[in-house]
Amino acid sequence: MSSKQFFVNRYKKLGWNYQQLQLKRAIRINTMNAPRDIVVSRLESLGIVLKKIPFLRDGYWINKSKFSVGATAEYLLGLYSIQKAAAQIPATLFNELENKMVLDTCASPGGKTIQLANLMNNSGIIVALELKLRKMFALTNQLERSRVTNAAVYNLDAREACKLNMKFDCVLLDMPCSGNPITDTDWFNKRTIEDVHKNARRQRQILTEAVKVTKDDGEIVYATCSLEPEENEFNVDWALANLNLKLEEINCHGEKGLTNVFGKNLDRSIKKCKRIWPKQTQGFFVCKLKKQK
Amino acid sequence: MIMTELTDFATQFNVNIPLDESCIVRNRNRYYLLSKKLKQQVPKGFFYAGEYLGAIKGASFFPSFPLLSLLAKRKTNKLIVDKKTAWLFICGRDIFQQGIIKENNLKKGDHALVLNEHNECLGFGKIMHNLRGAPDAKKVAVKNILDIGDFLRREKHTSKSQQYSSRLQRPDRKTHKQTHK
């Protein structure tokens, strides 16, 4: 059986019939730098046709543009960021962000860090971690471009976050993951189930460390762009059993998390997670966990 | 000492820098403006923090765009250009007289911030001849020294080669000092 057939069969068992999709590009307005309606009207005056993304406050799809939206003056001035629609969801799930201490693990290329700063109105503190030095330049360029002033960036593995000796109110875990075949057309040729298991193990290590640096009652948002249950529902099930965490209800785009996967019953609260099958957006999985006292 | 490099840079635009020295931190060759909260609570060893102000390489100061925007909010040497000129400037081009909408009597040799019609700072340049009087329309009026298109040039450069340990080593980034030559 080919790798593609293997994964496509799995998706079918989970409830999704694989089909390749052409996704629209999406942007997010940085309302800390300019009002939303002004940015929209400036982009429309350039001939860019935008469509509001119904499930996001500041997100728009690019329906038509004769040129790259990454090369306008408005982009270079930090008035908006290019960010996939589903990737705009996790940062919006925290209850309150202004003046909070926030940890953003695996932060590069910085889309979610900028979004956090935007939601915090540049108040409080964001500590952004990135393991790979070469990605740090992209991240810091984005922060400079978007006028983020409340972030501190460290070249540090998220699995060593304790070294900072800090405690956080909110932790965004945008996990390094296996990705999905919608955003990477060569995905089936590159990925094996062993990769998925390896990534799932690393995600558990990151999650374990994140819990250590989260304050009691602090919130952890866990997100991947993987469709594989090992990196999503199975990891959350493991975390609920081992890390003194509780799932919180979230109100966002997506279907309920799966509580029975390949015949295995998982914690029933996992239905509070959101699984987004590729359709309007790329595939995504997100949930919010609360650290118990 | 930290402030000297920043104030010297700002002086070229006839403006005093409105920054609290106690909140400016030098990290390697870079300057950052930190909020009091950041300064008190984040540990040392960061790669980037707060508002990036610029960096020193040799005797040259490389301003950041947030610093230029801070200066542009003050009464300073600045000029406003039309839409087409703004776009050409971002693409790295110099400015001709006919693209300038407004300026504050800038003279040859002055340095001036370049703003678009929305009063957003796009970068800065050097005035090549007095802007009032009867300038030659075919001659460059403002030489581009730094513009926000630099963000794209940095990305392009980073994707081509990741061997540079600092953006300051990139040859496509013009220094303020070089432009005097």
Strand partners, B143: B126
User: Are B48 and A125 in contact (CB < 8 Å)?
Assistant: no
Specify whether the CB–CB gap between A93 and A272 falls below 8 A.
Answer: no
The low-confidence residues of chain A, meaning pLDDT below 50, are none
Determine whether the interchain pair A76/B52 forms a contact, defined as Cβ–Cβ distance below 8 Å: no
Distance from CA of B124 to the nearest CA of A (A): 14
| Token reading at A208 | 């374990």
Predicted local distance difference test score (pLDDT) of residue B131: 80
Report the gap between the CA of A241 and the closest CA in chain B (Å).
32
The residues pairing with A153 across neighbouring beta strands, listed in sequence order, are A128, B48
Chain A residues with CB under 8 Å of B65 CB are 144-145
- CATH node for A3-14+85-291: 3.40.50.150
Rounded to an integer, what distance in angstroms lies between the CA atom of residue B126 and that of residue B62?
Answer: 15
Question: What pLDDT, on the 0 to 100 scale, is given for residue B136?
Answer: 75
* Residue A225 bears catalytic tag: yes
ipTM of the complex: 0.92
SS3 content of chain B, % helix, strand, coil (to 5): 30, 30, 40
Given A106, A170, A225, A287, the catalytic residue: A225
List the structure tokens of A116: 């956090």
For testing contact with chain B, the best of A145, A153, A157, A164 (most B CBs within 10 A): A145
DSSP per-residue string spanning A218-281:
EEEEEEES---GGGTHHHHHHHHHHSSEEEE---SSSEEPPSEETTEE--GGGGGSEEE-SSSS
Q: Which part of chain A is CATH 3.40.50.150?
A: 3-14+85-291
H/E segment holding residue B27: strand B24-27
Indicate the CATH number of A24-83 among 3.30.1050.10, 3.40.1160.10, 3.30.70.1170, 3.30.565.10.
3.30.70.1170
Packing angle of the helix pair A133-145, B150-160 (nearest 10 deg)? 170
Amino acid of residue A161: A
Q: How far is the C-alpha of A289 from the C-alpha of A237, rounded, in Å?
A: 11
What pLDDT tens digit does each residue of chain B (181 aa) get? 567 888 899 999 999 887 888 999 999 899 999 999 999 999 999 999 999 999 998 888 999 999 999 999 999 999 999 999 999 999 999 999 999 999 988 999 999 999 999 999 999 999 998 888 766 778 899 999 999 999 999 877 665 544 443 333 333 344 443 333 2
For chain B, what are the domain ranges? 2-71
B51-57 sheet: strands from edge to edge? B24-27, B30-33, B51-57, B60-63
